[in-house]
Structure 1
Amino acid sequence: MAKSRSFDVANIGQPPFRNMEGLESVVVMFLLVHDPAYYVLKEDTSPCIFGSIEKQRWSYACAKQLIERLIYAEGAENGLDFTIVRPFNWIGPRMDFIPGIDGPSEGVPRVLACFSNNLLRREPLKLVDGGESQRTFVYIKDAIEAVLLMIENPDRANGHIFNVGNPNNEVTVRQLAEMMTKVYAKVSGEPSLESPTIDVSSKEFYGEGYDDSDKRIPDMTIINRQLGWNPKTSLWDLLESTLTYQHRTYAEAIKKSMAKPIAS
Structure 2
Amino acid sequence: MAKPAKNVDSDGVDDAAEDLTGVKRKSRAGSSSTPAKKAAPKKTAAKSAATESADADGKADKAEAVAAGDDASEKKSRQVSLTLDMRQLLLAGAAVLAAAALIFCMLNWFSARQQVRAFNDIQATASKFVTSMVTVSNAEEAAKAKEVLGPMSTGKLRETLSQQRDEHTKQTKQLNVKATSEIQAAAVESIRGDNSSALVIAKIESSGSMAPTKTANRVVMRVDLTRERHGFWAARKWYVNKAELIGSTVLQDGGPKRQQTPLPPGMPGSGSSGN
Larger radius of gyration: 2
Q: Which has the higher helix share?
A: 2
Task: Determine if the TM-score, normalized by the shorter chain, exceeds 0.5.
Answer: no
Tell me which of the two structures has the higher relative contact order, counting C-alpha pairs closer than 8 angstroms and 6 or more residues apart.
Answer: 1
* TM-score (structure 2 length as normaliser): 0.21
